[in-house]
Homo-oligomer: A and B are copies of this chain.
Amino acid sequence: MGNIMLKSNKNNKDKRIKFGYGSLPPGGVKIAEALRTLLEKKDFNSITTAEIAEASGVNEALIYKYFGSKRELLHSLIDDFHREYVEDMQLRLKGIKGALNKLRKLIWEHINLYDTERVYARVVLIEARTHPGFFESSTYNLVREYTRLFKDIINEGINNGEIRDDISVWSIKQVILGAIEHVCLPNVIFSKKIFADDLTEDICNMIFYGIRRKD
């Protein structure tokens, strides 16, 4: 398991806008950025539209012009980020040989994401899912798209003999994602560093042993 460390992890040195706000007009971008910034300090429910408007220097009504509602703004934020992440991931998996290796890479990236993108992590892990209707949201659809990546690789592993074929793909995916969340959540909540290398090691040790085809 990862070690506990107390220093905060603000190692973002690049100034690229983390969430790529599609083709929004300036006001829209400012709104999204404002929420993102506010989310670093307090949770979504206690951020008011008035605050978002003030922080972004635009009128409150503009939030509704561009995003429809406060919650849709949140989802828009996550979706944009998520979409970009999933696309990236497909590229980052290129050139990796073997399903288990790909899986390891995927796990590392996932954990690392939680480490480097705290706002995203907290929102996805806590805020979004506590809200009824999350599982009908577009955000959840993106989550499903992402899990397809997992399933594809697991299937690849089953087909080429790396992974045993007597456990359902769904179960394997669930166990992996469950494990990742389980180990990351406390650190996300307590704002502690997550050591992606160590955690990936631990999780792969445990799970790969169980799913690897023995024959």
Contacts and interface: CB of A to CB of B under 8 A. Distances in A.
Given A4-B175, A4-B178, A175-B4, A43 B130 contact: yes
A62 interface: no
A69 to B, nearest CB: 16
Q: Which of the listed residues A181, A182, A190 has the most CB atoms from chain B within 10 Å of its own CB?
A: A182
A186 interface: yes
A11 interface: no
Interface in A174-197: 175, 178-179, 181-183, 185-187, 189-190
A45 interface: yes
Given A45-B46, A181-B186, 13 more contacts: A4-B175, A4-B178, A4-B179, A45-B45, A126-B189, A181-B190, A182-B186, A182-B187, A183-B186, A185-B185, A185-B186, A185-B189, A186-B186
Nearest to A131: B46
Contacts of A181: 186, 190
A-B pairs, top 4 by smallest CB distance, nearest first, are A182-B186, A185-B186, A4-B178, A185-B189
Q: What is the count of identical protomers in the complex?
A: 4
Interface SS of chain A: helix, strand, loop or mixed? helix
A54 to B, nearest CB: 13
Interface in A100-145: 126, 130
A4 B174 CA distance: 10
Interface string A33-65: 000000000010110000000000000000000
Interface string A137-181: 000000000000000000000000000000000000001001101
Contacts of A183: 186
Q: Which of the listed residues A4, A185, A186, A190 has the most CB atoms from chain B within 10 Å of its own CB?
A: A186
A185 to B, nearest CB: 5
A4 B182 contact: yes
A187 B182 CA distance: 8
Interface in A11-47: 43, 45-46
Contacts of A185: 185-186, 189
